[in-house]
Amino acid sequence: MTLLEVSGLNVFHGDLQAIFDLDLRVGEGEVVALVGANGAGKTTMMRALVGLIASKQGRIRFDGAEISAASAEDIARAGLCMVPEGRMLFDSLTVLENLMMGQVLRRRGYWTLERVFELFPILAERRSAMPRHLSGGQQQMVAIGRALICNPRLLLCDEISLGLAPLMVEQIYAAFAQIGKQGTALVLVEQDVKRASAAADRLYCLLKGRISLETAAGAVRVEDLTRAYFGA
């Protein structure tokens, strides 16, 4: 079953076009990696999907409904959620309050505060701390937990590992295995190809706003990927 189907998507930043004629598909419960160099348009693409960028053309179908003209609020309500690049925590809210923002959507399901605290025990310990007093990895856990409590059908994770210590990245990717078990589909946006393809079922590579490669994650050939990533 296809959960997300994007066809012929064009996204604009003012007069500049950032995404060209893009097709992309994510199945129910599937883990998809979206890799690409800096400036390839990955973040723009994610922000367009969740409705934060309105200037776009093309079709986006999510869970059977057309959402290309829907507001970010309605898209979230439908269960398409995002862990934004740079974590984007609410700085004047405590860890607990940040997580509770995920409850505002009232999408019930497996993920609750308790389950998130089980997944990331350190957050339970630091629930009253302000985000700026956390390490980068802990902040990322808050951002992931906050999105999980929305109980998304599909979770877009934008540059989760950026700027984190390798050990921390290990821990966070271990959590993704558990998240996937609940049937949540995932899109992992990464610059780190190895990391992303190890966790994913399928892989897309984005180059200058276009899909340059689509393949099963296990069957990636290095020379193909190098060409798709850097351009020839």
Partner 1 sequence: MAWIETVVNGLLLGGLYGLIGIGLALVFGVMRVVDGAQGEFMVMAAFFAVIVLAAAPDLHPLIIFGLAILFSFCVGYVYQSWIVNRSMQSSDPLAPLLLTFGVSIILRSVMVEVFGADLRGLQLGSLSRASIAIFNINIGVMPLLTLATSIALFLLLQWMLKRTSFGRIIRATADRRDIVRLFGVKPDRVYACVMAMSVALSAIAGLFLAARASFTPFSGVERLLIAFEVVVLGGIGSFWGPLIGGLALGVTQLVGLKWDPNAGLLYCHLLFFIMILIRPSGLVASRS
Q: Where are the alpha helices (DSSP H) in 61-205?
A: 72-78, 95-100, 113-119, 121-125, 136-148, 166-181, 193-199
Stretch of 61-69, 144-152, 192-200, 212-220 lying at the interface with partner 1 (CB under 8 A): 144-152
Under the binding rule (CB under 8 A), the answer on residue 113 touching partner 1 is no
Under the binding rule (CB under 8 A), the answer on residue 101 touching partner 1 is yes
Other CB atoms closer than 10 Å to residue 118's CB: what's the count? 12
Under the binding rule (CB under 8 A), the answer on residue 102 touching partner 1 is yes
Which residue's CB is nearer to partner 1, number 72 or number 122? Answer: 72
Under the binding rule (CB under 8 A), the answer on residue 55 touching partner 1 is no
Q: What is the chain's Cα-based Rg?
A: 17
Closest CA to 68 of 19, 16, 110: 19
According to DSSP, the residues that pair with 26 across neighbouring strands are 4
Task: Locate 86 and state its tokens.
Answer: 């740079």
Which residue's CB is nearer to partner 1, number 90 or number 110? Answer: 90
Q: Which of 39, 90, 174, 216 binds partner 1 (CB under 8 A)?
A: 90
Under the binding rule (CB under 8 A), the answer on residue 82 touching partner 1 is yes
Which residue's CB is nearer to partner 1, number 93 or number 124? Answer: 93
Q: Which of 26, 45, 81, 213 binds partner 1 (CB under 8 A)?
A: 81
Closest CA to 187 of 81, 86, 70, 113: 81
Given a contact cutoff of 8 angstroms between Cβ atoms, the answer to whether 212 and 40 are in contact is: no
Which residue's CB is nearer to partner 1, number 104 or number 198? Answer: 104
Site string for partner 1, 188-217 (x = CB under 8 A): ------------------------------
Closest CA to 34 of 156, 130, 133: 156
Under the binding rule (CB under 8 A), the answer on residue 97 touching partner 1 is yes
- Which three-class secondary structure state does DSSP give residue 17? strand
- Least separation in angstroms between residue 101's CB and partner 1 is 5
